[in-house]
Chains A and B, each alone.
Chain A
Amino acid sequence: MLAYLLLRWSGVGVFVLLWEMAPRLGWIDPYFVPAFSDVVREIVHLLLDDYLGIHIVVSVWRAVVGLSIACLVGVPLGLALGRLYPRLGDALGPLLRVLSQVNPFSLLPVFVLFFGIGEVAKLSVVGWVSLWPVLFYTMTATRNVDPVQEKSAASMGISLPELLLKVILPAALPTIFVGIRIGATITFYILVASEMLGASAGLGFLVHNAAMNYQIPRIYAGATFIVIFGYLLNRFLIRLEGALFAWREDTALPSAASALAPVSGWRPGRGTAWTGAAALVAIVVFGGIEVRNVNREAASVAPGAHSRHFGTPVDGGGN
């Protein structure tokens, strides 16, 4: 096991080693590519200086709220189109597919025109991007419920709402979760990119701001942090999926996923579920308060003045 882990992470190790050595030995200009240890030091500095935490909170809040909106719209709509009115779903299918191809970045200007430059525009982009995987996976999942389960429930005289809630939704849940997970991954990607195009806080803004001020180690620090954060988020969601839906007999996921992340003995019980729900609510509430403060502060900071959260405003002077 240890040998396998060593082999597995050796590629990353070599890369980090090269990154450390190349600037130190002068193979690359250290001004443009700071050594890995300097970047790590910058990340720690950002964390301790309280900037990074706020940017993380802002980005995570946007992602969570946008994704929740997508789920609130996508799951019921998918249930309706996939299950209740399958003919309507059939008729709308191609149209929805074309709409799902609409580029989130070309929508950004439209949303900005609609809602102003504030949070709603960003949440709309996030919601739009994550809506489609959730919707399509829900439609497919509710359509492909095992007919035996459905028929036996029907033969016991189940009512339609109960059939939906107690048979179809649980049976479809694993696949719906895949949709939500894909939505979350894409969302984080797009969110960070759209924060670079116009925002006053968030992880994408951190990198963009650093670039505008020629704080080169900070660009690398922000980018590295985003990459690691996204990777861990992805891993966590895969783990969660494995733990939540371990009861599934036919694993729809190919074996590669389970081979890489062997399903642990851990199963979320009721306590974990409540903790998770509480954490989500806490993120939404406290994140929302923090986002409001950040936006208010960003609006009140005069150009060139120093702000607690952002170090230096985009058009300000040196640090």
Chain B
Amino acid sequence: MKKVLSLVLAAIMVLGIASAAVAEEAAGKPFIIYAWNEEFKGFFEAYVQDALIAEGYAPQFVINPSDNGVYQQKLDEALLGDAQVDMFLAEADYIQKYADSEYTQDITKIGVTDFSNAYEYTVKAASDADGVVKGVSFQCCPSALIYRRSIAKDVLGTDDPAEVQAALDSWEKFEAVAADAKAKGYYMTASFAETYRVFSNNCTSAWVDADKNLVFDAQIEAWIAQTEKFVENGYTLTDGIWGDEKNAQMFAEGKTMCFFGPAWYFNFCMGNAQDPEKGCSGDWAICQGPAAHFWGGTWLMAATKTQNADAVAEVMNAFINNEEICSNLVAKNAQFSNNKAVNAKFAEDPEYGSDFLGGQNDVAVFAGMTDNIKWENHTIYDQLLNEGLQTNLQEYFKGVVTKDEALANFYKYVNETYPEIVTPE
């Protein structure tokens, strides 16, 4: 018996070593990409991976979560240290930290030169202070109001996007509708921070001024005031923007009317709504909402130390200028691509519609919103300041601490996180 067992074990070991050797043989030149989730990896594998492997590259993703700045820390260590990084992903909230540094390189010099089809703000975001372009985005992220059709019908008497938009095109109307929704037993939003981006994206000052003082913009104050009202009146739940309680509201049995987000939000983060059993795919639609804004977006940045600049350029060009890939991103992945010509084609196509949105042409809605996106007032600190403000104020909105205590805790968090930022006394 023992002999048999040891034979089996030995066989497994030998096989294991053999298969490892085979795997190694298939591998080519490592091509390392840093990312914070699986979203881009999926598109990469679907559209460009095979071509790169055929050219002798062995693409590998290094994925670290974005929460609490973990992704940035890991990426910084890799960029400043000896680790190989060819290309990395960056988000709107901290792209400037990398674009404005020596660790990213001018992509026009490695072969990415045509930005005529890309949206202007996506190019500006990835440029340094002198206008040198360091990366490209594979998506354009105007953010919409995503509403439940059935609840809108009950509250507003219509689920037609144009009519819903007319009923919700200012904050005054939004609040009035919230009261109506509440009266009928619904929540207007499921997170205290649901409308945060709609306000923060329209700030007229950056989080930190030239002397590194922390600045509270009037829009942020307006968000706090509105959320106070919403929480007090029970118009919203007090969960975080990524919380389980909020996400549970996306199921068919959910009672929440409005969510805010770009294309990536409803196709990547609203899995509960798309759940075949408990979800409610098709019971959704989008309109611009009370104010134009964008949220997030994923940029591909070229690391200065890459030895595979050709491959980096190939991937970048594929995702902004290859019409077939950009069309697939829209048609198969429900993305709003960063290619104006492709988007225009879908926007005008009467056959195109999103099943999730009950047949609505989301591309047409987003295309109409792109002109309003401005890239201004960003700092390298935005991600953790936005995150820190939200988590500290959440305690205030839940009634655990006073507003002063919440702000004091936020300032403490800022002082610990960024010693160079001066917080108000």
A binds B: no
B residues touching A (Cβ–Cβ < 8 Å)? none
